[in-house]
Amino acid sequence: MSHASTSPQFKANTRKALGDTQLQAALGHVRHRFIDKRAQAAARLPEFEALRDSARDIKDHVLAHLDLYLETYEANVTASGGKVHFARNAQEACDAIVGICQARGAKTVTKGKSMVSEEIGLNAAIEAAGMVPVETDLGEYIIQIRGETPSHIIAPAVHLTKEQVAADFRHTHRHLPAQRDLTAPESLLSEARGILREKFLAADVGITGANMLIAETGSSIIVTNEGNGDLTQILPKVHIVIASIEKIVPTLEDAAQILRVLARSATGQDMTVYTTLSTGPRRADDPDGPEEYHVVLVDNGRSAMLGSEFEEMLRCIRCGACMNHCPVYHAVGGHAYGWVYPGPMGAVLTPSLIGVDEAGHLPNASTFCGRCESVCPVRIPLPKLMRHWREREFERHLSPATIRAGLGLWAFFAKRPVLYRFSTTLGMRLLSIMGRAKGRFHWLPFTSGWTQSRDLPAPQGETFQAQWHRAQKAANAKPSVTS
């Protein structure tokens, strides 16, 4: 049972988001802090661009040999005393995890942050089996008590203000004094630390995601700043790792290359506070650590992306840089995208995983400004991949009649250059005269889709082609300059 989507209502979602003043206030932090911190981190490391190339090449190599690395990885997990479970889809992954929990008679299950667990609807499955899942990442904990889904892949509660979080804590932590001061973010963090500490110590099973799986050693890697992923995995008797199949990297050296671009791209840190490699269950003379170590490897549509025009999307390391730099994400936030993965990476991945008929609006929500591709640590050509989805949507006649009619009309003129030049010249002159007073239009016939939420700039009176010809002529007329 995958997480249910509201992606088909993308347009309604965006209208709601644009009118939500609290959301708009919260999104202000994305626009500045994430972008500045990444830029500073990249500037501090002269080798950053070379490392992006290296990370891209490693992921391409893995994807081309994924079957072989999965076999190596599985053999090494088994050799270190762990167990690998393969899951074709969300249902099989949930069943495997619930089965492991039930075999240990688990009541409380703590969880580190994992996007693939959101994708497969894991919390609902654990609850349905009569156990209590507890999210331990601060952001995930906040959205869990609100009954929401993450709005960002690395900052799940980025859509909320601290006042909203304070209200949620008062509502949920009723055993604490009602008059306590929760105005400072520090007091919210400290309260969550106290509440979750008890959960960590009480948990029977701990579930974490994985930033990478290392074929060479059979290890899983997680990176966190809070330490929640570590407390989740070292205190309970059972540690379950859930990861999608493309998280494999060949060697420890390859992991180091990717770690160097991951944190810098995500939060602008050179290295996250905790980078942890876990290999198998606790050894015979270890005084702590889990007694069982399981890895649930999820396909859920990914093997079909290999060899397709969307294969490059499988390079994604889930840093969030593309959404942090996306003007559309800045305007509407993550929930508007309607499923688990928002922003440019979500606009490409979501149609691959749940279908273009369900999520066809998402690749249309792009200005193709190219900022996402310019910051992607593994250089995924996100605009190109979104364009592929638009083509598929058009081919399958999924785009609305007005868009198809408009494109048809444009194509009629574009195929007749003389007519095209004549009509655009006339149109530009007309609009320029009409818009001369204000320099922009609040309203024009047939353009409500644009003018409802923003003004249309008035043309200057000349088409691009006319300006180009004029400039070319002037350049040719000029005598060549010699020294």
Pattern of binders to another protein over 205-244, x per CB under 8 A? Answer: ----------xxxxx-----xxxx-xx--xx---------
Q: Which is nearer to another protein, 50 or 419 (CB)?
A: 50
Size of the site for another protein (CB under 8 A): 106
- Residue in 245, 317, 348, 375 binding another protein, rule: CB under 8 A: 245
Q: Cα angle vertex 351, ends 350, 356, to 5°?
A: 150
Residues 50 to 79: which contact another protein by CB under 8 A?
50-51, 54, 58, 61, 64-72, 74, 76
Q: Which is nearer to another protein, 283 or 442 (CB)?
A: 283
Task: By CB under 8 A, tell whether 34 contacts another protein.
Answer: yes
Task: By CB under 8 A, tell whether 91 contacts another protein.
Answer: no
The pair phi, psi for residue 333, each rounded to 5°, is 75, -175
Task: By CB under 8 A, tell whether 200 contacts another protein.
Answer: yes
CA atoms of 260 and 248, how far apart (whole Å): 16
Helix axes 252-266, 35-44, angle to 10 degrees: 130
User: Could you tell me which of 392, 339, 387 has the C-alpha nearest to residue 9?
Assistant: 339
DSSP type of residue 448: H
CB 299 within 8 A of CB 244: yes
- Residue in 39, 132, 176, 289 binding another protein, rule: CB under 8 A: 289
Q: Which is nearer to another protein, 280 or 351 (CB)?
A: 280
Q: In what order do the strands lie in the sheet with 108-111?
A: 83-87, 292-298, 238-244, 205-208, 108-111, 132-135
| Rounded least distance, CB 94 to another protein, Å | 13
Task: Give me Rg for the CA atoms of the chain.
Answer: 26
Residues 134 to 173: which contact another protein by CB under 8 A?
136-139, 142, 155-158, 160-162, 165
Task: By CB under 8 A, tell whether 21 contacts another protein.
Answer: no
Question: In this structure, how many other beta carbons lie within 10 angstroms of the beta carbon of residue 222?
Answer: 25
Piece of 5-13, 49-57, 379-387, 463-471 that binds another protein (CB under 8 A)? 49-57
Piece of 14-22, 193-201, 343-351, 470-478 that binds another protein (CB under 8 A)? 193-201
12-44 burial: b if 16+ Cβ within 10 Å, else e = ebbeebeebeebbebbeebeeebbebbeebbee
Task: By CB under 8 A, tell whether 40 contacts another protein.
Answer: no
Half-sphere exposure of 6 toward its Cβ, with a 13 Å CA cutoff? Answer: 14
Task: By CB under 8 A, tell whether 352 contacts another protein.
Answer: no
Pattern of binders to another protein over 366-395, x per CB under 8 A? Answer: ------------------------------
Q: Which is nearer to another protein, 51 or 243 (CB)?
A: 51
